[in-house]
């Protein structure tokens, strides 16, 4: 079983739709959580951090449920430019040794069509 699991998709949605991605992680010692966006053949870019209280950045809302070890991302009013792969990421650090390790899911591909 992978440490971070995501539905690979693709999710095909029309412009303006709301779409939700989910992710589960298996290591309860995980310390911090993120969603990254990756365009084809480009580097991952930080979309947002994820907190238990939930956080919102414009059309994007992220939520963490530590008890269920579950992370979600909601995108409202989808734009063509949202088409990308969305990576669920768990940070196994930091520990007081300074160690940090990002563990990535395989990503969920989103295709937004006109």
Partner 1 sequence: DAGVTQSPTHLIKTRGQHVTLRCSPISGHKSVSWYQQVLGQGPQFIFQYYEKEERGRGNFPDRFSARQFPNYSSELNVNALLLGDSALYLCASNFRPGSGYTFGSGTRLTVV
Answer whether 61's CB lies under 8 Å from 49's CB.
no
Work out how close the CB of 81 gets to partner 1 at its nearest, in angstroms, rounded to a whole number.
19
Scanning the chain, the segments in alpha helix (DSSP H) are none
The whole-angstrom separation of Cα 104 and Cα 17 is: 26
The token pair at 90 is: 């768990």
Work out how close the CB of 114 gets to partner 1 at its nearest, in angstroms, rounded to a whole number.
27
Residues in the site for partner 1, rule: CB under 8 A?
A: 4, 31-32, 34, 41-46, 49, 87, 89, 91, 93-94, 97-107
Our CB check for partner 1 shows the closer of 2 and 15 to be 2
Our CB check for partner 1 shows the closer of 79 and 101 to be 101
């Amino acid at each position: 079983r992978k440490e971070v699991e995501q539905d690979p998709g693709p999710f095909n949605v029309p412009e303006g739709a709301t779409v939700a991605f989910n992710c589960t992680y298996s290591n309860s010692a995980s310390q911090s959580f993120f969603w990254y966006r990756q365009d084809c053949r480009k580097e991952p870019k930080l979309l947002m951090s994820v907190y238990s209280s939930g956080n919102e950045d414009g059309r994007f809302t992220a939520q963490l449920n530590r008890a269920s070890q579950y992370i979600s991302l909601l995108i409202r009013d989808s734009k063509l430019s949202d088409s990308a792969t969305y990576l669920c990421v768990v940070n196994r650090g930091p520990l007081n040794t300074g160690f940090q390790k990002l563990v990535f899911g395989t990503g969920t591909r989103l295709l937004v069509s006109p």
